[in-house]
Structure 1
Amino acid sequence: MEPDFLRNLILKAKHAYYYSGEPIMSDAEYDALEDQLRQIAPDDPVLALVGSPIPADTILTKARHSIPMGSQSKVNSEAEFMTWAQKSEGSAIHASLKGDGASAAAYYQQGRLVQAISRGDGTIGEDITANAMRFKGLPAWVGSERHGFTGAVRFEVILTVDDWTAIDPSRSKNPRNAGNGIMGRKNGHQSDRLTAYAFDIDETVQGQTYRFATEAEKAQRLTQLGFNLIPQRLCSTAEDAVAYFRETAEQREALPFWIDGVVLKMNDLGLQERMGVTSGRPKGQVAWKFDSSGAETVLTGVVISGGHTGAIVPTGQLQPVEIGGTTVSSVSLVNFDEIARLDLAVGDSVWVIKANDIIPKVVRVTHRPEHRQPILAPHACPFCGGDVGRRINTGGDEGVILECRNAACPKKSSGKINRWISSLDILGIGDVVLESMLDQLQIEDAADMYTLKDRFNELATLVTHAERDLRLGEKRANNILEAIEAKRVLSISEFLGSLGLEHLGKRRVEIMIRAAQGELDTLDDWRSGKLRDPSVAELAGAPNIAAPIQDGIDAMALLIDKMLANGVEILPPQDDLHGSVDSEAFKRKTVCISGKLPSGKKKADYQEPLLAAGYELVDEVNKDLSYLVLADAASTSSKAVKARKLGVRVMSEDELTGLLTAAS
């Protein structure tokens, strides 16, 4: 074996043995590798290493890129691309696949991989070295002993279709999000399922930065060094580049990994340098992204759904159509403002895409027939006939969400029972069983569930499918009662966070208790009206939503009393909630979203998911902000610049989705 190959295997084996707890070879096989290297190079520095080459405790610590990782400007059509290509001065165009993964950079010193950093905001990312050591296609050693590679290699971290299928046979989560989650795991689990595809290089030779002449020369050097290269092609003309884009678009479904476009660069690096940079984006490079998978179909109807918060949500029914390998028959219409913006009506032909290749979304009407049926926003709640209005957001303004204003709306009641059941993970009560309980046992709220232990016979004979005379049965009834009784004694965060109150989930209750320093330790404290006191609201870290939370608790007074009367017990706060306030952790609980997001979602769409996960959506960038979410995390907008100066992390929408997923 070649010495550099032996070094690479030895370093990876050392790391797997000491860090992951999942050895990639036996001790005898490892000893044989060291013996081979020792015979070739007795004084090789790799032989002197003891333990893992990468300390495990560095994973996910903040790290600064030695050379910032920027992003490309985008073109959305052939016309836009040809306008850009006219600046080529006759230079060839270097085209490469735009992998749908996460960008990162690997840094090498005299041959050895010393650090890998996620892209982050382009300047500061997270140290992922401990996981990157296990990536396929990323060598731990590059070059010979005397001429080991020193420099940086940029690469895309991708979960290939084969590996995605192996770890998630149902493909319930797209490979980009799944791969990003694996890359950021502290325990490194499944990191060996990720593949690194290199696409750029900076090399230092004898202390000086080596000046490559072309992109093609860079690619040749990456291949020579043993990196796994992203598929690419050198196009002699702009027309050839267009042909490559079209060819790639047609063949993307057959590729071994997901891509979302093609990256096009002037092959002449001197020309790229002369073209300069605008807003952090090099003018000599562009990304031409594919349209999301889509198809035309007909909107055949609209169904209105409601939930425990009273929100009234329109869902479109479609003539079934296949998009991206799955059949789509329904689509969220988001809200009635979006319906009006699209000028959408039943009977219209519509173009439906899978936003981020996952969520069906109507993007435009393609044909409006003569006898189309308008979709009208309801003037009364379709479930109770009560008044409806627009939800007031935390800033005091009307939002886009339509909601029922009737506190006694049965949809709210059943929704809140469902929220209680799902929040506390009470098993055995699905939608069918719950509907049967509501109809036959006159269950009005979650408190009534705690009376069912005295109604066993009624529960056991509950009819769940009248057409077949199917009943619940004693075994299922016993299981349900055991599940309910297991949730009779609750922490205050479980109790309040499961009532279905707007702005108040279990995690937020814990955060507020910890921050309030004894002011919110008991249920009586929460019911006393303290949250309307600005000083308490500020102390609890919820100055903008404390009063609405108090209003919600007050509105639940009868239900809370009924819960307690039916034997629900509240435990005192846990000891760890009585400690000092971690102000830095508290600052991490605010999120600002700015600009048009790639998914097409608006800020308001994230308000409830953020609140449920324990975060507050705010409008301003200041020193107390935790995250600023932008369409492009490398943006140099005024908000982005201000955020970086204040040390606020700037993230993409994908990273926000990951944050919410991790918090759920």
Structure 2
Amino acid sequence: MTNQQKIASLRSELNTHNYNYYVLDNATISDYDFDIKLKELEKLESENPEFFDANSPTQRVGGTITKNFNTVTHKNRMYSLSNSYSKEDLLDWEERIQKGLGTTDVEYTCELKFDGASINLTYENGKFVKAVTRGDGFQGDEVTPNIKTIRSIPLIPNGDFLSDFQMRGEIILPIDGFNKMNEERVENGEEEYRNPRNTASGSLKLQDSTEVAKRPLDCLLYQVVTEERKYKTHFESLENARKVGFKVPETITLVKSIDQVFDFITNWDAKRHDLPYETDGVVIKVNNLHQQDELGYTAKAPRWAIAYKFKAEQVSTVLNSISYQVGRTGAITPVANLEPVQLAGTTVKRASLHNADQIAKLDIRVGDTVFVEKGGEIIPKIIAVDLTKRPEDSVPTIYATNCPECNTELVRTEGDAKHYCPNEFGCAPQITGRVQHFISRKAMDIDGLGGETVDLLRKEGLIQNYADLYDLTVEQVIPLERMAEKSAQNMIAGIIKSKEIPFEKVLFALGIRFVGETVAKKLAKHFKSIDNLMSADLETLISVDEIGERIAQSILDFSSNLESIQLINRLKASGVQLEVSAESLENQTNKLQGLIFVVSGVFYQMNRNELKKAIEDNGGKVSSSISKKTNFIVAGDNMGPSKLTKAESLGIEIISEQDFIDKIS
């Protein structure tokens, strides 16, 4: 046997042993024998470097040092899930599903929602090439060396599966492994880790992958993303993923009705505490992949999936005081400062009180014993007061009348739940918050500049707004605390590079109240430049699709504010992109202006997302459901019969994929 054959044989054997132990939980070799074979392989690879393979079992032991984790854009966005907390919520969701599909013939999968850190694994030509954290859903941090140390993740699937695909899953820390880690830390005189979820998430960003390899991390997979049309259902794709070595939880269940979904939830709500992992709910998905495509996505979440959250853990503690936080838009959030208490694996010291109405509704007072839970097991909140324990000298809470930071009198407009500090250009948290929003990933994405540095720049008098960033020099920022020359150069380079960020993201970065990511895209597409937007009147603004009077008035307020106008002029002078680029306009026309399309079926020349983009690039609008307002249905193979019937009853023209391509050519 040649050295190349020996290496290939050992790699195959060790991969099989890894799979048996870490996925099937069925060891077929002793640890000692495994280590002997691994050392033999390491020796052969060292002597024959021409046969190096990044996916060899020897590459799982760590050793790579990563000082900076590269930011990587996801090929397919990692959406959040809509949450539900009652069976009524799920019935409403099912009704929307059936209405959107035009049929009651829908299967679902039920999966436990494991509490860890989301990860996206990319495979090309059947081999693992890259691992990226969820990040903000659009882009995350590449953590490939650290993920390679997790033995339950196959680097090369063992069998016929797919060629180019992504596996999405949750990096988790089993409870037993977490407890052992804490036992070791106590023995070494170190502080214990707080909970498995945060520890798993933090492990992914350790600079030394050798340290990651020492942690008993695991990876549970829940979704296959691919353009290959090999599998027709979500369940089928996961079943086949399991067969080739991916650790897909055995608890995933295929059900035929929402009643069976309720049975799954009831069963696991009782049994979840017996699991070796932490779980906080159930994810329900439409099983048929074609139906998933039909339903599509909202701006934040897939329509074809929903998370049911188990009832949150509750504890009682004493409310010591109430303080007030100022957000970047000037919104005031009251915060409860609590006697520290353990809740869902973390020590809770603070909880949100939301607004003045919530305080009044619950009659929350300092000194009260209050019941606290984590909303969706994430953000602590006060849900009730134990009136039996209220002190005799208790007095009602009087809500703040002035800003806690700049002492400006607070305002509250009719219909608004929150109070606001109107001193937007002179209130420190608002100044810092607006700049932090401006530099964030979804906005200007400025590398080398973080929130703490922004606050430091403001305190040192170097910036008072985001336009000031473009006047900064390396010489000005080097003297800052913890700022080396290289860091200063990186910061200024990041600021300069941000001048290439497209207009729609700049518009979001400006922080105009109510203008979020999706609204910014619509406004940028419609008005094409900041000048056109700021010169538009109320009637013009509300004529834009999905722009209501509240958003329009906020834009008018921004456009008429002298300081806002001065900021925009400074950004223009700095070279920031405040209009849609010529390249972006090249492929855009008004051929479909005013027309509403529904896309339904399976397509071959363009995929569904390309079709939708082509409609929007040519001035049309894509709707997810058929109505009297629909002008055309672009129909591919397997269009739902109920949709076809509805289209015909409304007299809507049905065109083929080729008809559509001809229409925009």
> TM-score, with normalisation over the residues of structure 2?
0.51
Separation (CA, whole Å) in 1 of partners of 2:65 and 2:365: 57
Deviation at 1:582, TM superposition (A): 3.0
Separation (CA, whole Å) in 2 of partners of 1:48 and 1:177: 28
Separation (CA, whole Å) in 1 of partners of 2:367 and 2:464: 49
Separation (CA, whole Å) in 1 of partners of 2:145 and 2:32: 15
Count how many residue pairs are aligned between Structure 1 and Structure 2: 435
Cα 1:642–1:141, aligned 2, differ >3 Å: closer, same or farther?
farther
- The equivalent of 2:258 in structure 1 is 238
Aligned residue runs from structure 1 range 614-625, under 5 A: 622=506
- The equivalent of 1:77 in structure 2 is 86
| Amino acid aligned to 1:163 | G
Deviation at 1:100, TM superposition (A): 1.5
* Equivalent residues of 2:367, 2:390 under 8 A apart: no
Unaligned runs of 5+ in 1: 13-22, 38-42, 381-387, 403-504, 517-530, 542-569, 590-619, 648-664
1:215 aligns with 2:234: yes
Deviation at 1:354, TM superposition (A): 3.7
Match of 2:13 among 6, 21, 33: 6
Cα 1:52–1:277, aligned 2, differ >3 Å: closer, same or farther?
same
1:98 aligns with 2:113: yes
> TM-score, with normalisation over the residues of structure 1?
0.51
Cα 1:7–1:576, aligned 2, differ >3 Å: closer, same or farther?
same
1:637 aligns with 2:637: no
Query: Which segment drifts farther, 572-581 or 62-71?
Result: 572-581
* Equivalent residues of 1:215, 1:267 under 8 A apart: yes
Aligned residue runs from structure 1 range 97-136, under 5 A: 97-136=112-151
The alignment partner of 1:190 has SS state of helix
Aligned residue runs from structure 1 range 206-355, under 5 A: 209-230=228-249, 231-279=251-299, 281-294=301-314, 303-304=320-321, 315=337, 324=344, 337=356, 339-340=359-360, 342-345=362-365, 351-354=371-374
Deviation at 1:288, TM superposition (A): 1.4
Cα 1:107–1:24, aligned 2, differ >3 Å: closer, same or farther?
farther
The alignment partner of 2:152 has SS state of coil
Match of 2:76 among 61, 67, 78: 67
* Equivalent residues of 1:345, 1:374 under 8 A apart: yes
Cα 1:90–1:629, aligned 2, differ >3 Å: closer, same or farther?
farther
Deviation at 1:52, TM superposition (A): 5.7
The alignment partner of 2:88 has SS state of helix
* Equivalent residues of 2:18, 2:151 under 8 A apart: no
Deviation at 1:57, TM superposition (A): 5.5
* Equivalent residues of 1:155, 1:200 under 8 A apart: yes
Separation (CA, whole Å) in 2 of partners of 1:361 and 1:7: 49
Cα 1:580–1:6, aligned 2, differ >3 Å: closer, same or farther?
same
Deviations 1:583-618 (A, max 9, x none): 2567999xxxxxxxxxxxxxxxxxxxxxxxxxxxxx
Cα 1:314–1:120, aligned 2, differ >3 Å: closer, same or farther?
closer
Deviation at 1:242, TM superposition (A): 0.7
Aligned residue runs from structure 1 range 487-526, under 5 A: 511=457
| Amino acid aligned to 1:193 | P
Deviation at 1:629, TM superposition (A): 14
Aligned residue runs from structure 1 range 518-597, under 5 A: 576=485, 582-584=491-493
- The equivalent of 1:160 in structure 2 is 174
Aligned-pair identity (%): 20
- The equivalent of 2:206 in structure 1 is 185
Query: Which segment drifts farther, 85-94 or 176-185?
Result: 85-94
- The equivalent of 1:471 in structure 2 is none
Deviation at 1:353, TM superposition (A): 1.0
Cα 1:532–1:134, aligned 2, differ >3 Å: closer, same or farther?
closer
* Equivalent residues of 2:402, 2:410 under 8 A apart: no
* Equivalent residues of 2:309, 2:376 under 8 A apart: no
Deviation at 1:224, TM superposition (A): 0.6
Separation (CA, whole Å) in 2 of partners of 1:57 and 1:152: 23
Deviation at 1:160, TM superposition (A): 2.0
Match of 2:40 among 13, 32, 39: 32
| Amino acid aligned to 1:143 | N
Deviation at 1:183, TM superposition (A): 0.9
Aligned residue runs from structure 1 range 439-478, under 5 A: none
| Amino acid aligned to 1:190 | V
The alignment partner of 1:152 has SS state of strand
Separation (CA, whole Å) in 2 of partners of 1:643 and 1:10: 55
* Equivalent residues of 2:313, 2:373 under 8 A apart: yes
* Equivalent residues of 2:161, 2:240 under 8 A apart: no
Higher strand share: 1
The alignment partner of 2:239 has SS state of helix
The alignment partner of 1:223 has SS state of helix
Deviation at 1:143, TM superposition (A): 2.8
Separation (CA, whole Å) in 2 of partners of 1:332 and 1:572: 32
Deviations 1:368-400 (A, max 9, x none): 9999875334799xxxxxxx9541459995799
* Equivalent residues of 2:319, 2:369 under 8 A apart: no
Deviation at 1:575, TM superposition (A): 7.6
| Amino acid aligned to 1:155 | G
Separation (CA, whole Å) in 1 of partners of 2:108 and 2:512: 35
Separation (CA, whole Å) in 1 of partners of 2:455 and 2:343: 41
| Amino acid aligned to 1:167 | M
Deviation at 1:196, TM superposition (A): 0.9
Cα 1:44–1:264, aligned 2, differ >3 Å: closer, same or farther?
farther
Separation (CA, whole Å) in 2 of partners of 1:317 and 1:50: 49
Deviation at 1:113, TM superposition (A): 1.0
* Equivalent residues of 2:15, 2:57 under 8 A apart: no
Deviation at 1:284, TM superposition (A): 2.0
| Amino acid aligned to 1:277 | Y
The alignment partner of 2:123 has SS state of strand
The alignment partner of 1:210 has SS state of coil
Aligned residue runs from structure 1 range 134-173, under 5 A: 134-143=149-158, 149-169=163-183, 172-173=193-194
Cα 1:641–1:107, aligned 2, differ >3 Å: closer, same or farther?
farther
Separation (CA, whole Å) in 1 of partners of 2:216 and 2:225: 26
Separation (CA, whole Å) in 1 of partners of 2:480 and 2:370: 53
Separation (CA, whole Å) in 2 of partners of 1:89 and 1:578: 58
Deviations 1:339-388 (A, max 9, x none): 335322589885421457587531245879999875334799xxxxxxx9
Deviation at 1:116, TM superposition (A): 1.2
Separation (CA, whole Å) in 1 of partners of 2:299 and 2:486: 45
The alignment partner of 2:254 has SS state of strand
